[in-house]
Amino acid sequence: MSTKTFASQADLEDKNVSFTRLSDNAYAYTAEGDPNTGIIIGDDSVMVIDTQATPAMAADVIRRIREVTDKPIRYVVLSHYHAVRVLGASAYGADHIIASRDTYDLIVERGEQDKASEIGRFPRLFRNVETVPAGMTWPTITFQGAMSIWLGKLEVQLLQLGRGHTKGDTVAWIPSQRILFSGDLVEFDATPYAGDAYFQDWPATLDRLAALAPVALVPGRGAALTTPEQVAAGLAGTRSFIADMWSAVKAGADAGKDLNAVYKDVYARLQPKYGKWVIFDHCMPFDVTRCYDEATRYPDPRVWTAERDRQMWQTLEN
């Protein structure tokens, strides 16, 4: 019997990078649905939000930053713990790596397993993985709830507005300009990865993001959203995917169907509406598995390992 490989293992084509100016202080590094990086340039220093997956890939972000400023990169903010977001951190030479305490705790609990899992799933996103230093990327500062970082006179608020993509999700908010960096709480024309999610919490967390009334938003994946109308569309699209997934999986679980049957039903139901989004086929097995877990007997996400990934994929996709 042949083993169907992860959808992402066949995804080898380079994406076109955009470096979008949102204000005098804010930029978005995006790449057609690959993981995004946010940049905030203050009076005296630079903050980077999410680092790319390897130092070699972070080098391209640094090159773009250096086209617009020579100020030192002092702060790296991790929106959450996933390897594809954090393993490029060493390239920036930042003074401080900042994360929520919940994110720190997740790195302790499952960082090593998650790293092996993610690298195995998506080789293109971990090009030059040998440039990643041994061990984990550890925050040097943690916070709970909210903290402000002052880049000279420019305030950046780091906020935990609730669980969603993970329990540690952090957004970066420039209140004076109403620009939001959402991490993977919001995606645009890209499928939310929800393998470590809290489906029942996520919509309310999105409502708290919306209550900030951002005029621009950098999602975790997809193009920068540069008008209030685009921001609203990004929030609505993410919210509808999470809600549609939860209602479909919950109905199947309540009917006593097993994971395999639920997966087939939910894929058929969501594919017409969301199938054109980036990484749909890659995310669906992980998303349905986590959603089924939450709807049945696992309120908190189980740890993904490379071996669990393969077993799950083989069970659902072969």
Q: Which of 53-57, 92-96, 302-306, 307-311 has the highest mean pLDDT?
A: 92-96
Per-residue pLDDT reduced to its tens digit, 274-315: 999 999 999 999 999 999 999 999 999 999 998 999 899 888
Q: Is residue 1 part of a domain?
A: no
Q: How far apart are CA 237 and CA 224, in angstroms?
A: 14
pTM as predicted: 0.94
The answer for residues whose C-beta is within 8 angstroms of residue 264's C-beta and 6 or more apart is none
Q: How far apart are CA 300 and CA 77, in angstroms?
A: 24
Q: How far apart are CA 232 and CA 283, in angstroms?
A: 23
Q: Is residue 80 part of a domain?
A: yes
Q: How far apart are CA 184 and CA 188, in angstroms?
A: 10
Structural domain for 69, as ranges: 7-317
Q: Is residue 228 part of a domain?
A: yes
**Among candidates 168, 167, 164, which has minimal Cα distance to 187?**
164
* Domain CATH number, residue 81: 3.60.15.10
Helix, strand, coil shares of the chain, percent, nearest 5, are 45, 20, 35
Q: Is residue 2 part of a domain?
A: no
Residues paired with 46 in a beta bridge: 41, 73
Could you list the beta-strand ranges (E) of the chain: 18-21, 26-31, 34-41, 46-49, 73-77, 96-100, 141-143, 146-151, 154-159, 171-174, 179-187, 216-221
Mean pLDDT of 120-141: 87
Instruction: Return phi, psi of residue 242, to 5°.
Output: -65, -45
Provide the domain count of the chain: 1
Q: Is residue 155 part of a domain?
A: yes
DSSP H/E element including 122: none
Per-residue pLDDT reduced to its tens digit, 152-164: 999 999 999 999 9
Q: How far apart are CA 179 and CA 166, in angstroms?
A: 22
pLDDT value for 6: 52
Q: Is residue 193 part of a domain?
A: yes
Q: Is residue 97 part of a domain?
A: yes
Q: Is residue 93 part of a domain?
A: yes
Q: According to DSSP H, which parts of 93-201 are helical?
A: 101-121
Instruction: Assess contact for 75 and 149: CB atoms under 8 A.
Output: yes
